[in-house]
Amino acid sequence: MTKILVTRSSMPSYEEYCEEIKDLWESHWLTNMGVKHKKLQEELEAYLGISHVALYTNGHLALENAIASLNLPTGGEVITTPFTFASTTHAIVRNGLVPVFCDIKEDDYTIDTVKLEQLITDKTVAIVPVHVYGNMCDVEEIDRIAKKYGLKVIYDAAHAFGVKYKGVSAACFGDASMFSFHATKVFNTIEGGCVCFKDDKFVTLLNDMKNFGIHGPESVQYVGGNAKMNEFQAAMGICNLRHLNDEIAKRKRVVEKYRSRLEGVEGIKLSSIQKDVESNYAYFPVVFDGYKYTRNEVFEKLAAVGIGARKYFYPLTNSFECYRNYPTAGTKKTPIAQHMALRVLTLPLYADLSLEDVDRICDVILGE
């Protein structure tokens, strides 16, 4: 029985990667913003249609630094969603800010903008929405709210690399957007991530912050850490970017196959197809609500035959032990998110997942 895991990293051929890293053996330049770093940064700026990309060693530190760059007042409230990976909430809290958890929408699991506006107080300083599973948040409404109340917006776009709204890349909304280039993502640099932004005034800050705040040989302007992307990571990104369109097209076939088997089955709910959005087919979430098997039963049935679905995102971040004593924590105020977290399963999805395997997975889900 071959195991099927929830995802499998996209990789270039061994030869292609070796060719890309060959010159590193000649230069001995392995990290600290070398030629590969520069090349990837420029290629990403062109691909995403954004003026500035600051590369990071992972998406989490990219998000932490993006939030830090806005210099928000300690103790300020940041409205965000608990239906996400631990990273989103941690990045807010590790910046000395207070997460205020907003509920999500039932159809696409992104932040509910009506509830968001109701949560704004005189302590609110920013919004950190999440394009969860690659589904775009309501960027137009969030922009309207942010302008009305003078709030900063930093998108956690970890899942949304390659996604476009009305032809515009997910990189281009809010004050900044963070992409994750982790091994499990549609586009990977092994580990990695970036901050995308338009305002020139953040160029120095975001690039220096990942290198101890060092600006020049005798100038340290910020209290930064070490979050640099190294040359091997960047080389992987350069290779993977060449194949990205193919990878997304292959993922699309897998998703279409899943939809053809699961759409319309009583008690099974699929994520809605968003209007004006070009998807990257990052994840395939399925909600079991009133189905003949519970989510946990489906999870166990799949696991019993070597199929590794995942409960992304359960538990909600507002129920984590580390936030138990937070005044804003608890799942009561986010009932839709809690409902989804108890019922959702993300099914295996990667470019090379065969359609026969998708059938096998669906047979287990639909079987007696």
> By the criterion CB under 6 A, which residues form the site for ligand T4K?
5-9, 58-60, 84-85, 87-88, 130, 156, 158-159, 180, 182-184, 193, 308, 312
Q: Least separation, in Å, of the C-beta of 368 and ligand T4K?
A: 28
Closest C-alpha among 120, 159, 99, 114 to residue 317: 99
CB of 172 closer than 8 Å to CB of 49: yes
What is the C-alpha to C-alpha distance for residues 311 and 216, in angstroms, rounded to an integer? 46
For residues 6 and 127, which CB has a smaller minimum distance to ligand T4K in the complex? 6
Structure tokens at 264: 């319309």
What is the C-alpha to C-alpha distance for residues 142 and 70, in angstroms, rounded to an integer? 18
Q: Least separation, in Å, of the C-beta of 215 and ligand T4K?
A: 25
For residues 108 and 156, which CB has a smaller minimum distance to ligand T4K in the complex? 156
For residues 70 and 158, which CB has a smaller minimum distance to ligand T4K in the complex? 158
Taking each helix axis from N to C end, the angle separating 14-27 and 35-48, rounded to the nearest 10 degrees, works out to 130
For residues 116 and 178, which CB has a smaller minimum distance to ligand T4K in the complex? 178
Q: Least separation, in Å, of the C-beta of 159 and ligand T4K?
A: 6
Whether cis (ω within 30° of 0) applies to the bond prior to 313 is yes
Cβ neighbours of residue 211 closer than 8 Å, sequence gap 6 or more: 32, 33, 224, 226, 228
DSSP type of residue 131: -
What is the C-alpha to C-alpha distance for residues 81 and 99, in angstroms, rounded to an integer? 9
Q: Least separation, in Å, of the C-beta of 83 and ligand T4K?
A: 9
Closest C-alpha among 80, 109, 110, 112 to residue 93: 80
Q: Least separation, in Å, of the C-beta of 283 and ligand T4K?
A: 8
Residue 178 CA: distances (Å) to CA of 44, 116, 167: 13, 21, 19
Handedness of CA 102, 180, 281, 288 (dihedral sign): negative
Q: For residue 277, what are the β-bridge partners?
A: 165
For residues 82 and 291, which CB has a smaller minimum distance to ligand T4K in the complex? 82
For residues 291 and 312, which CB has a smaller minimum distance to ligand T4K in the complex? 312
For residues 12 and 59, which CB has a smaller minimum distance to ligand T4K in the complex? 59
Cβ neighbours of residue 290 closer than 8 Å, sequence gap 6 or more: 266, 267
C-beta nearest to ligand T4K: residue? 59
Q: What is the CA angle 113-309-191, rounded to 5? A: 75
For residues 36 and 60, which CB has a smaller minimum distance to ligand T4K in the complex? 60
Q: Least separation, in Å, of the C-beta of 220 and ligand T4K?
A: 26
Structure tokens at 341: 């977290």
Q: Least separation, in Å, of the C-beta of 97 and ligand T4K?
A: 16
Q: Least separation, in Å, of the C-beta of 200 and ligand T4K?
A: 26
